[in-house]
Structure 1
Amino acid sequence: MSEFIPGQRWISDGEAELGLGTILNVDFRSVTVLFAASQETRTYSARQAPLTRVAFGNGDRIDAAEGWQLNVDDTKEIDGLIVYIGETDSGETRELSEAQIADSMQFNQARDRLLTGQVDRNDWFDLRFRTLHHHHRIEQNPALGLAGPKIDLIPHQLYIADEVARRHAPRVLLADEVGLGKTIEAGLILHRLLLSGRAERALILVPDSLTHQWLVELLRRFALEVTLLDEQQSQAHGDANPFEAGQLILASQQWLFANPQRQAQAEACAWDLLIVDEAHHLDWSPNASGPGYACVERLADIATGLLLLTATPEQMGIESHFARLRLLDPDRYHDLARFRAEEAGYVQVAAAIDALERLPGDDPAIAIVSAVIDDADSQALLDTLADPESDEAQHADARRQLREQLLDRHGTGRVMFRNSRRHVGGFPERRLHVTRLELPSAYRRVLHKAEHNEDALDELLIETRLEHPDVLLYLDATYRALHDDPLNVEPWWQIDPRVTWLLERLTEIGRDKLLVIAHDRETATDLSEALRVLGGLHAPVFHEGLSLVERDRAAAAFADEEDGSQVMVCSEIGSEGRNFQFCRHLVMFDLPQHPDQLEQRIGRLDRIGQRHAIEIHVPVFAGSPGERLLRWYREGMDAFSAPHGVGSDLYDVFGDELAEALLDDARLDEIISETRVLFETRIAEHDAGRNRLLELNACRHERADAVIAAIRQLDDDQALPRYLDQALDIFGVDSHELGGELLHLRAGPHMLDGLPGLAKGEEGFTATASRSHALARDDVQHLSWEHPLIREMMGRILDGAMGNTALALLNHPAIPAGRLMAELVFRTHCPAPTRLHVNRFLPPTAIRVLLDESGANLSAKVSFTGLAKNLKRVKKAVARDLIKSRHDQLRELLSQGESEAERELPTIIETAQQRMRDELDGELTRLQALAEHNPAVRDDEIQALRDERHALDMAIDGTRLRLDAVRVIVTVDDDTRR
């Protein structure tokens, strides 16, 4: 007769995912099993059924079909069915027949899987243990979240990202000068917040022209997939809120600001982080707010964190700058007059910081520093620094601490980060090449009338419908407006010598690329046509009238090194946001009227990472208003040599007068002279005041160097390629070496589903662990411990049952055959909200216990690696039989192993708590002291840190152990193996 009896519980050896089965029918030939949880029925041969009986023992916990749980103390058998006896969670003694066990009961835990005969491959077990080990050390690395992105290791960017992402609810203004990498800084902050669990949802609002650029940058550099939302996508969601369509939402500012319905939907969502690019375009005054500013203000009130990006925080003056700051902290920045008074005091603080370098030995310097300190700690540091009896090490330490206190306690440096090119260094030279051209007769006639007859100028403005001074500066536009019948009049580009000049420049520079920027959209379009007709050149054009896809296509055609266009023509919109640093030749076909627009044009090429001098080519008509405007830029403010950050101030003062002087050389000379005086005054003020403080605070090199060192440690980690080889093999990913440290990864025929970037039947991707190789090619991904593929594989192992059981054979001459050992891996479990990022102090920690069958602990004598390399695999059927025959012995070893592991837990908890207290107590003390001097430190920030410390202390104290994996090892001799 068969051993099967209806009502018994069994699991399938080959299809464990079916869950717990119940014997339905049995005869001499077959047995039928119902797997109710998966709604499947199987019929097997009664003699060779691949089934394992489920039998629980003392200490096991069972789920009853009625919803309660039983802790097993004893068992008995009635009519071939096991009846379990034990206590419920309420302490009641009950019995539970195996037929009444819940069908949905899972056997994912290592203990359950082992005792029910479910074992995995040995290499899976090895990978699981190594995953725990690597995850433990990586989660504690101070570079976590900053090491994976495909970026150069630039100190100021990494310092800002590290400083901001550490904060509770970071709310800052990223205001680096053009080309210093604000987008990268924002991406780094977002990436770290996501990896650490401090953020899950983010809304990114950017100008319409930059949406696809942000989309590509976040994917290519940070491996972040975002949902690009527009009206078409929103309508596709019907009545559902489209802003719930993804965790990371990217949207156009113009689209959202013009749509009250979509604004309401965005405001109905919870956002951990709001990012707003080109924030200087948000219009605000003490009396009114523009629709964009009002929308961001409401969203900023909802979002926990806020990043505002702008290269020109004072483009519209101090009032505009104040408007950005009040979005970050309306309680702190609520009074514009008070803010103006604070700004005036920063000169004294900057002078005090500079005076520190002259100590000791300079009595006036002591007085300068004393004037800005008002607490005993700072005074003690100053006394040490001024004391000639102190040694050099004491002087250096006191100088450093006092400098950091002054930077922390004064100014907007805590909420605003602004690096300048002068401060960062390493930027290329700018070379200006001016070519004077003769005015064509049609242009000359227009200017001659305007110069000698004011009424003629007024008539010209009426006739062309152009603004003053556009009608004088952009003569091709004036010509088009006056000759509106292109069929009977030559196109402007056939009479304009700048076109021929441009073709000559293209020939001169050989194969180098050249970017042309013109003020007017029609000028750009016509110029592209002129290059095609006159020079046979394909010149993609980039202007505001194109769709986003068309703009991206034009930029891609220009960027392609091998088959791309040599030249691209942009309207003024091409000078904002786009990155063309692969190009070094810039032609300003005409000049913009505002200095900030001039700098933005140059900033498309002159960016961090540019390896060549920037060649700026400006054709001007001799004696024209355009040449006079060029003089104002060159002689009044050195506008082409470097960004100075004061152009907006100068334009506010002289813009109107300059427009009137474009036809008057004598008056122009006066304006240039006055501009130069004010330029030098403003530069001195900026160097002495808040800008000086911001530059000193925007990158603390000691911190930045420490972050870079931690990143390099992960970059050079030799364990990564070894781990990757093993993981790719086990997960079924095909890997092919391409040479030059490049790998091509693609889905293998047996690959597990759902791995990022590796869909079956598709090409896969090329990747490298070398940062320099990854940066050299846009189509190569940067493999690191933070890469989505590696994190996904590690996550599946740590969160699932993969490799948590195994059985192996050991042939050792000193150990008799038939002996049993159990290798147990316990893992700390510290349940806590993800926002606490408890892993930085106590990541899942493995405790390995190796017991022989007598219970002796061999962990210290036999290493994991030393044991693993001597183990041999065994067929699953044999493994199940061995486990069945040693059930009682294995239960005892599992219990004893838990006791051995528990002895190590208090030390792990104590170490983690001490690490947490050392870091957070120091930061809390610093913030509390800082709050007494700098109102930019918010009370809720300090309270949040107190709450975080308390929650972490409770969570770490509640850490428990659980059995993560177990491997049974049976010793054999050569005869047994044969």
Structure 2
Amino acid sequence: MSDFSPGQRWISDGEAELGLGTILNCDARSVTVLFGASQETRTYSSQHAPLTRVVFGSGDRIQCAEGWRMTVDDSKEAGGLIVYIGEDDQGEVRELPESRLADTMQFEQARDRLLTGQVDRNDWFDLRFRTLHHHHRIEQSPALGLAGPRIDLIPHQAYIADEVARRHAPRVLLADEVGLGKTIEAGLILHRLMLTGRAERALILVPASLCHQWLVELLRRFSLEVTLLDEQQSQAQGPGNPFEAGQLVLASQDWLFANPHRQEQAEACDWDLLIVDEAHHLEWSEEAVGPGYACVERLAATVPGMLLLTATPEQMGQASHFARLRLLDPDRYHSLAAFQEEERHYVEVAAAIDALERLPGEAGERRAEDRAAVAAVVDDPDSQALLDLLAHPEGDADQQATARDQLRDQLLDRHGTGRVMFRNSRRHVGGFPERRLHVERLDLPSPYRRVLRRLERDEDYLDELLIETGLDHPEVLVYLDAMYRALADDPLNGEPWWQFDPRVTWLLERLTELGDDKVLVIAHDRETALGLAEGLRVLGGVHAPVFHEGLSLVERDRAAAAFADPEEGCQVLVCSEIGSEGRNFQFCRHLVMFDLPLHPDQLEQRIGRLDRIGQRHAIEIHAPVFAGSPGEQLLRWYQEGMDAFDAPHGLGGELFEAFGDALADALLDEESLDEVIEETRALFDSRLAERDAGRNRLLELNACRHERAAATIAAIRELDEDRALRRYVDQALDIFGVDARDIGGDLVHLRPGPQMLDGLPGLVKGEDGFSATFSRERALARDDVQRLSWEHPLAREMMGRILDGTMGNTALALLKHPSIPGGRLMAELVFRTHCPAPKRLHLNRFLPPTAVRVLLDESGANLTAKVSFTGLSKNLQKVKKAVARDLIKSRHDQLRDLLDRAEAEAERELPSIVEAAQARMRGELDAELTRLEALARRNPAVREDELTALREERAALDAAIEGTRLRLDAVRVIVTIDENTR
């Protein structure tokens, strides 16, 4: 139609986003159109204007410029303009000239776009349908949120992440031993909660030395972009609350805990999750509360979810461990004395579980003892019935195995801190390398020997030395170079300590012997680390970057990166004690303890920087000590008193609390030291036996249930190996205008194409893009390569654009088929379930957007079951948009009728979809609610608010699913053509 009249309403075929246009003026040569909503004016040639007249029919909803709406019943023409006749929302019959239609009317729905002649490409329609199909499938996967991160699939990490992220507002203590991946567990939990909508905002508090590492890990492993907040960034944001700057905020504990004003701002924000790393540094006792603990406690009172991370939950004793649990649930953990009494009961439960594994066992006294041990902790009829079945000597073996598993799970659920604390040990996980200790005894240099001999002769000299140096006891005895530096005014101390200290020359010799092997050196304080680096440079020409607390985050990362580079990096990195917390140096296998820390947990943290999951070599621990010195005596206490170098045991904090003072007093008295070592060993052996029999035994059994872990990993691998992923991504990249070039080695390089749509993650026009792989193993081997998965931000962005926008929701195609005459019309319609619900409910696990496809011929016959989507698509031919618009215009009334009929056909499918979703939801939540209600009667670790939230969630989901409706998502018109048509 090319005869235009002022006041008519048209839309632009090429710029549909301009909205509804009004003809301003026209003549034989040109036509001018005002697009009021976007305040744009366009002038076109009258003969070739890319415009489509907007014409509404019976049943369409339209809006007046004054805001009221009406449903069209009929129309008439007056002066070249259409006048619509219909009823408004109050039932009153009204007339509305097209010139008074609202400029802001949107043509986003498939029906509106189709009937106004707006059609997309066929491959867009195909991609939209496939996106709906894959999104429906992926959203219901039990691996959702766990499959995308770039991590190794390790059972205990997968189990913990799956278990914790399923809970409402989880509040747990992640306390795996050093090197078992607490940061990865926290990242997995956060990633799943964010992906499923159960959390939208999180505050992450970590030591200053680990801020940048967390930032990089969350981005590199989990594709989570985090706002790193410090004082400089806070001030740069102006007078507002800086904690509102992002969804995920990462902040230094050192900065926040020292700044009451910033604490108030953090507490004023709405957070869904609080993550606190190295939580053992939070100081608490019944008499006093440290500022860091007080800050976290206030946040914990208002933030629903909370993850505390520590490898040493009992570093400062049982009271310190209780303090962490008190943050998670102050109602449950209100009394230290009650907590200590409860801990003693766990020995019986652990013994019962061990006895359970032996039942039914041999006849006689042993079987009776085992049954009695289990019966002592069984306290309900269901468990008693399982025990009776299990203990029956002639019971069915399969039934007994099932009963054993059920009863073990019940005992683990109902006793202990297993719901709030997850602690895996290395011996439980397995697969860790051997540790080898190499002790090098060196002669005391005279500047050190002179002071130590005077100490042996004069008991009062120690007090003088403490005053003179300002050092503490026993640091002044163990760290002789620090003592020497502190005595700088002594005329005999005229040269730097590293010039005469034989440990420096010993280290230079060792570096030469080790060749290209990387060597991590840890010393107690910053001055020692700096002096050692200077000595290596001056005496041996060895460049060693230094990693210490005085460096900025960027400087620390630069030092760590210089060490990590396998080809051009330096051989040695020198760290102060801060290097033993949080950093991962598992690519290295040689650790030099230049001196020894005074606390056993710090010793384990040092070793744990190398001895981690993924370490493929034995850990070579080198300890240079001065013969006969306090440092050598300290080494003896570690070796002989607690096997500290062999493997982590988690008892160091308790042993230090018991014997730390006696050890300090015995460092100059070998006879006294022998007594301390003997007493330490006795307590170590005793506590090890008690721990393995009690709570830690329960924690280990509960921290990784292997059947659940195996099922989770199997679900992840199923998504990893999904062949549809590569096909889908290739098709989507092509349609979104991204160039993908195979560069070999299972790698592809993605870069923006000339027609790329804006806003795709990692792809900016004019920049080079990034390399990626679909292989988990390949991505783990290359830090510079991203891993493409269904959860990668690029894939999710493309799927989101399609599902939330109009791309591909209309199309027209030609079908040439020998058995179908030309000129026939078919309509292929895709309806989608619509179920508004708060994101936090994660409705999609039970009812993700579900496609209902309906294929009708022009008579209204339903051909859906006879003709598949794929089979039909393969035989379709594209058509030019101008031809498509003319075809649609000529079949308006017929298409309206088919749209109405298709809706009725689709509605027949809705009840079964709703019923199936409700069954899935009730089956999962009812079982979980029943389990937790039973568990809460016996284990106070199940919070009442968790039960309440689950009941409310079930009711809300039931109502939401019941209210599900269908809406038209996409429509494709198919016109048949004769065989001889070209």
- Establish whether TM, by shorter chain, passes 0.5: yes
Partners of 1:10 and 1:51 within 8 A in 2? yes
Equivalent runs, 1:624-635 vs 2, <5 Å: 624-635=629-640
**In the alignment, which residue of structure 2 is the partner of 1:936?**
941
Give the aligned CA root-mean-square deviation in angstroms: 1.2
Cα distance per residue 1:754-801 (max 9 Å; x no partner): 000101111211111100000011111111000000000000000000
Structure 1 window deviating more from structure 2 (34-43 vs 795-804): it is 34-43
Alignment partners' CA distance in 2, 1:486 and 1:209 = 38
**In the alignment, which residue of structure 2 is the partner of 1:880?**
885
Shift of 1:460: 2.2
Shift of 1:26: 2.3
Shift of 1:880: 0.7
Alignment partners' CA distance in 2, 1:975 and 1:13 = 31
Amino acid at match of 2:661: D
**In the alignment, which residue of structure 2 is the partner of 1:223?**
223
Query: Secondary structure of 1:658's match?
Result: helix
Amino acid at match of 2:240: A
**In the alignment, which residue of structure 1 is the partner of 2:36?**
36
Alignment partners' CA distance in 2, 1:68 and 1:309 = 57
Partners of 1:384 and 1:398 within 8 A in 2? yes
Partners of 2:256 and 2:262 within 8 A in 1? yes
Find the partner of 2:428 among 423, 426, 430: 423
Alignment partners' CA distance in 2, 1:675 and 1:300 = 37
Shift of 1:490: 2.0
Cα distance per residue 1:226-252 (max 9 Å; x no partner): 000000110111111111110100000
Give the gaps of 5 or more residues in structure 1: none
Amino acid at match of 1:153: L
**In the alignment, which residue of structure 2 is the partner of 1:17?**
17
Shift of 1:870: 1.2
Amino acid at match of 2:154: I
Amino acid at match of 1:810: L
Find the partner of 1:378 among 383, 390, 406: 383
Structure 1 window deviating more from structure 2 (532-541 vs 578-587): it is 532-541
Amino acid at match of 2:943: R
**In the alignment, which residue of structure 1 is the partner of 2:779?**
774
Alignment partners' CA distance in 2, 1:216 and 1:48 = 55
**In the alignment, which residue of structure 2 is the partner of 1:252?**
252
Alignment partners' CA distance in 1, 2:838 and 2:806 = 23
Amino acid at match of 2:574: V
Structure 1 window deviating more from structure 2 (891-900 vs 706-715): it is 891-900
Cα distance per residue 1:56-89 (max 9 Å; x no partner): 1111111221212211222222222222222223
Find the partner of 1:712 among 705, 714, 717: 717
Residue 759 in structure 1 maps to residue 764 in structure 2: yes
Cα distance per residue 1:64-121 (max 9 Å; x no partner): 2121221122222222222222222333322222112110001011111111111111
**In the alignment, which residue of structure 2 is the partner of 1:182?**
182
**In the alignment, which residue of structure 2 is the partner of 1:514?**
519
Query: Secondary structure of 1:357's match?
Result: helix
Give the gaps of 5 or more residues in structure 2: 362-366
**In the alignment, which residue of structure 2 is the partner of 1:574?**
579
TM-score (norm 1): 0.99
Amino acid at match of 2:49: A
**In the alignment, which residue of structure 2 is the partner of 1:114?**
114
Query: Secondary structure of 2:853's match?
Result: strand
Amino acid at match of 1:215: L
TM-score (norm 2): 0.98
Cα distance per residue 1:17-55 (max 9 Å; x no partner): 111011111223222211000101112222222111101
Structure 1 window deviating more from structure 2 (75-84 vs 649-658): it is 75-84
**In the alignment, which residue of structure 2 is the partner of 1:50?**
50
**In the alignment, which residue of structure 1 is the partner of 2:271?**
271
Alignment partners' CA distance in 2, 1:164 and 1:456 = 56
How many residues align structurally?
977
Find the partner of 1:638 among 636, 639, 643: 643
Shift of 1:486: 10
Cα distance per residue 1:706-750 (max 9 Å; x no partner): 000000000000001111111001101111111111111111111
Alignment partners' CA distance in 2, 1:532 and 1:2 = 85
**In the alignment, which residue of structure 2 is the partner of 1:171?**
171
**In the alignment, which residue of structure 1 is the partner of 2:843?**
838
Alignment partners' CA distance in 1, 2:723 and 2:438 = 50
Alignment partners' CA distance in 2, 1:298 and 1:89 = 51
Amino acid at match of 2:313: P
Partners of 2:422 and 2:702 within 8 A in 1? yes
**In the alignment, which residue of structure 2 is the partner of 1:197?**
197
Find the partner of 2:544 among 539, 547, 553: 539
Alignment partners' CA distance in 2, 1:374 and 1:454 = 61
Partners of 1:2 and 1:28 within 8 A in 2? no
**In the alignment, which residue of structure 2 is the partner of 1:88?**
88
**In the alignment, which residue of structure 2 is the partner of 1:261?**
261
**In the alignment, which residue of structure 2 is the partner of 1:62?**
62
Alignment partners' CA distance in 2, 1:957 and 1:444 = 83
**In the alignment, which residue of structure 1 is the partner of 2:451?**
446
Shift of 1:487: 12
Equivalent runs, 1:729-878 vs 2, <5 Å: 729-878=734-883
What percent identity do the matched residue pairs reach? 81
**In the alignment, which residue of structure 1 is the partner of 2:589?**
584
Structure 1 pair 764–922 and aligned structure 2 pair: CA distance change class (3 A): same
Structure 1 pair 486–833 and aligned structure 2 pair: CA distance change class (3 A): farther
Shift of 1:459: 2.4
Alignment partners' CA distance in 1, 2:331 and 2:474 = 43
Cα distance per residue 1:649-674 (max 9 Å; x no partner): 11111111111111111111111111
Find the partner of 1:685 among 687, 690, 693: 690
Shift of 1:440: 1.2
Shift of 1:2: 6.2
Query: Secondary structure of 1:934's match?
Result: coil
Partners of 1:2 and 1:27 within 8 A in 2? no
Alignment partners' CA distance in 1, 2:941 and 2:118 = 59
Amino acid at match of 2:274: L
Alignment partners' CA distance in 1, 2:569 and 2:272 = 41
Amino acid at match of 1:87: E
**In the alignment, which residue of structure 1 is the partner of 2:926?**
921
Shift of 1:164: 0.6
**In the alignment, which residue of structure 2 is the partner of 1:395?**
400
Structure 1 pair 632–881 and aligned structure 2 pair: CA distance change class (3 A): same
Query: Secondary structure of 1:451's match?
Result: helix
Alignment partners' CA distance in 1, 2:703 and 2:401 = 21
Alignment partners' CA distance in 2, 1:546 and 1:513 = 22
**In the alignment, which residue of structure 2 is the partner of 1:314?**
314
**In the alignment, which residue of structure 2 is the partner of 1:556?**
561
Partners of 2:34 and 2:41 within 8 A in 1? yes
Find the partner of 1:411 among 394, 416, 420: 416
Residue 601 in structure 1 maps to residue 627 in structure 2: no
Alignment partners' CA distance in 1, 2:191 and 2:493 = 59
Partners of 1:829 and 1:962 within 8 A in 2? yes
Amino acid at match of 1:270: D
Cα distance per residue 1:813-857 (max 9 Å; x no partner): 111111111111111111111001100001011111111111111
Cα distance per residue 1:417-436 (max 9 Å; x no partner): 11111111111100001111
Partners of 2:487 and 2:493 within 8 A in 1? no
Shift of 1:286: 1.6
Query: Secondary structure of 2:856's match?
Result: strand
Shift of 1:469: 1.4
**In the alignment, which residue of structure 2 is the partner of 1:206?**
206
Query: Secondary structure of 1:969's match?
Result: strand
Shift of 1:873: 0.9
Alignment partners' CA distance in 2, 1:316 and 1:970 = 78
Find the partner of 1:909 among 899, 911, 914: 914
Structure 1 window deviating more from structure 2 (93-102 vs 922-931): it is 93-102
Partners of 1:449 and 1:457 within 8 A in 2? no
Query: Secondary structure of 1:321's match?
Result: helix
Alignment partners' CA distance in 2, 1:294 and 1:654 = 29
Query: Secondary structure of 1:976's match?
Result: coil
Partners of 1:325 and 1:333 within 8 A in 2? yes
Shift of 1:484: 4.7
Query: Secondary structure of 2:542's match?
Result: coil
